[in-house]
Structure 1
Amino acid sequence: MRKYLPILILILIASCKSRQDLLATSLHSENGHYQAVIEIPAGTNAKVEYDKNLRLFSTSLRNGKERIIDFLAYPANYGFIPSTYSDPANGGDGDALDIMILSSTLKSGDIVEFVPIGMIKMIDAGEEDFKIIGVPARRELRTIQAENYQQLSENYPGALNILETWFSNYDLEDNTVIQGWGDEKDAIKEIERLRLKL
């Protein structure tokens, strides 16, 4: 077994180096759609985050314990928009822009093309923390047939209420304040504002 240990260590090191930096994934797909990286599948409660240094997904910690949301499960797939950054110097939270993808359950690490249809404007723990709302670009993945905020609000008003109620209650320690909603134009404007200039 000892003679194989150096080989196993080399394989482990090589596999770590080959992991893709998902934060640096292109903002747009080859088809021109925006892209999102899923961290937390819909219907789950573990607060999974992407670790940019280790380039892997793990449950975040709070006070040394894995963070499990003590509320209803995530109502949609939660993740981030790669190649964006919400700068703390401008009131942001220091992370990539957050997104909720309204679809069936996806997996952590899935990269999905999406269409932005709205935005929840929030202040979370004193920091601007807007959430883009999107649907998959591939229609067969959609559970909501909305192309824009007007269709979402007119045809699925309960979805807006669910998302707003969920964000207002899922983490009582952070004192989240919902400031309102933006439409698809506001969402696109926010994505482009936080786009990394490469």
Structure 2
Amino acid sequence: MAHLWHGIQTGVNPPEDINVLIEIPSGSKCKYELDKIAGIIRVDRIIASAVYYPGNYGFIPQTLAEDGDPLDALVLSQISFHPGVVVRSRPIGVMRMTDAGEPDDKILCVPLRDPHYSQIKTAHDLPGNMLDEIQEFFRVYKNLEEKEVIIRGFESLELAVKLIKESISAYKKKYIAV
């Protein structure tokens, strides 16, 4: 089995066409997390708060974010994807977040071939109060664990693309001899 972070391509045409490795399905209270050494997904904990993931949460393979982990991504879909599944996606924006004092941005994505999201080009095209629900989840999901999360808002597709490019470069610099 391929290492889920290092052994899977970043995408067909990154940063516009990316792979997202799903760790946590939409609607879950179980926090799965990549074991960066073994390259597998493990159960990290059960969320203590009465909230559920508002999208399919995972990461973009072969990227390195500021926090030393792969770049986080939230794939919005009517479907809950199983942990370990790779979803070909396109970014639509980014939620800026700080977790325990460290940057912890989340790239917002939609599946590349989902007709329900084909007209969504940016995060602000999302229907209803979807952005509010996403923000509220991440603002409160660690409250009962007494951990501080600060949501700094949603930003553009252009910034998401920039962050993806930077995280690909950071990954290559650290893990691939040039």
Same fold (TM over 0.5): yes
Partners of 2:102 and 2:27 lie apart in 1 by 26
Counterpart selection for 1:126 from 101, 113, 116:
101
The answer to whether residue 156 in structure 2 is matched with residue 183 in structure 1 is yes
Q: CA deviation at 1:157?
A: 4.3
Quick one: percent identity of the two aligned structures? Answer: 33
Normalised by the length of structure 1, the TM-score is 0.77
Q: Alignment partner of 2:129: what SS?
A: helix
Give 2:81's aligned amino acid: L
The corresponding residue for 1:93 is: 67
Equivalent runs, 1:43-192 vs 2, <5 Å: 43-60=27-44, 66-86=45-65, 92-103=66-77, 104-140=79-115, 142=116, 145-152=119-126, 156-172=127-143, 173-192=146-165
Q: Is the 8 A contact 1:71 1:169 kept in 2?
A: no
Gaps of 5+ in 2: none
Partners of 1:45 and 1:69 lie apart in 2 by 8
Query: CA 1:174–1:145 in structure 2 vs 1: closer, same or farther (change >3 Å)?
Result: farther
Partners of 1:83 and 1:48 lie apart in 2 by 19
Q: CA deviation at 1:71?
A: 2.6
Q: CA deviation at 1:144?
A: 7.6
Normalised by the length of structure 2, the TM-score is 0.85
Q: Is the 8 A contact 1:47 1:69 kept in 2?
A: no
Task: Give the superposed CA RMSD.
Answer: 1.9
Q: CA deviation at 1:149?
A: 3.0
Gaps of 5+ in 1: 1-18, 61-65, 87-91
Q: Is the 8 A contact 1:113 1:137 kept in 2?
A: yes
The answer to whether residue 25 in structure 2 is matched with residue 41 in structure 1 is yes
Kindly indicate which of the two structures has a greater share of residues assigned to helix.
1
Query: CA 1:30–1:165 in structure 2 vs 1: closer, same or farther (change >3 Å)?
Result: closer
Kindly indicate which of the two structures has a greater share of residues assigned to strand.
2
Residue-by-residue CA offset, 1:84-119 (whole Å, 9 max, x unaligned): 112xxxxx3221111100011000001011110011
Rg larger for = 1
